[in-house]
Amino acid sequence: MAESEVIRSLFVTLRRSTAGKPQFQRRIVEALGLSRPHECVEKPNNASIRGMLMKVPHMVIVETDKMKYLNMMNEYYHDLCRPPVAINHGFPNIPISPLKMTAHTKQQLSEHVEANKQLRGFIENYVPKPPIKYLRERAVRERVRALTEHGLYSEEVKKINERDIALKLKWTRRKQSLKNTSPLEIESR
């Protein structure tokens, strides 16, 4: 090694706290002159210091004087103000192509345009949906008709079903009335 490249001093930085570390590691860090994290000290490059550093490599960062100088310069240039970025908010001179529309989109658009032309908020052949209760009743009627055609549904079964429906309605009404009454009124019944 040439004489100009001889490392004369080491810069030691404590990167981790000594909390929770064994006692001998704490004593080594204390002997190096480090007491808190991110604290940096300069030590001579000799065998005893290198031996101490080899015992706690997970807790310290070791830099030479050249490395320390380069890191300081790197931080300095990193902290410098950057030149402002110029942003052009104008629209580019790109020709705008017509919108590509699918058949479904065209149909929906035409429906809205026609509705707006006639100044009506709905399509003329709009039929409102029947209420759900009506649909249930119709489904029951269709089921009864189909079962009757196959001989599986008789007047006797019809009476039993009607009685069951009446009982369900009665119990439903009773539950609702119990929900709306206080506990004292229920005990008096």
Residue type, 3: E
Residue type, 70: L
The label of the residue with tokens 């807790």 reads 59
More confident residue, 88 or 145: 145
Give the whole-angstrom CA distance, residue 61 versus residue 76. Answer: 20
Question: Are 46 and 8 a contacting pair, CB within 8 Å?
Answer: no
Give the whole-angstrom CA distance, residue 31 versus residue 67. Answer: 23
**pTM greater than 0.75 (yes/no):** no
Question: Are 14 and 29 a contacting pair, CB within 8 Å?
Answer: yes
Round the average pLDDT of the chain to a whole number and report it: 76
Dmax (CA) of the chain: 117
**In this structure, what token pair is assigned to residue 8?**
């004369």
Of 38, 35, 42, nearest in space to 69 by CA: 42
State how far the alpha carbon of 89 is from the alpha carbons of 85, 86, 92, 168, in Å. 12, 10, 9, 70
Q: For residue range 26-35, what is the model confidence (pLDDT) as tens digits?
A: 999 999 999 9
Q: For residue range 90-146, what is the model confidence (pLDDT) as tens digits?
A: 655 655 556 666 777 777 666 655 554 554 455 556 566 666 677 777 777 887 777
Going along the chain, which residue ranges are E strands? 9-14, 40-44, 60-64
Of 21, 19, 32, nearest in space to 62 by CA: 32
Question: Are 30 and 56 a contacting pair, CB within 8 Å?
Answer: no
**In this structure, what token pair is assigned to residue 147?**
């079962």
Was domain 8-79 assigned CATH 3.30.1390.20?
yes
Q: For residue range 47-77, what is the model confidence (pLDDT) as tens digits?
A: 999 999 999 999 999 999 888 888 888 888 8
Q: For residue range 153-186, what is the model confidence (pLDDT) as tens digits?
A: 677 777 777 787 788 878 877 777 766 666 555 5
**In this structure, what token pair is assigned to residue 84?**
């402002």
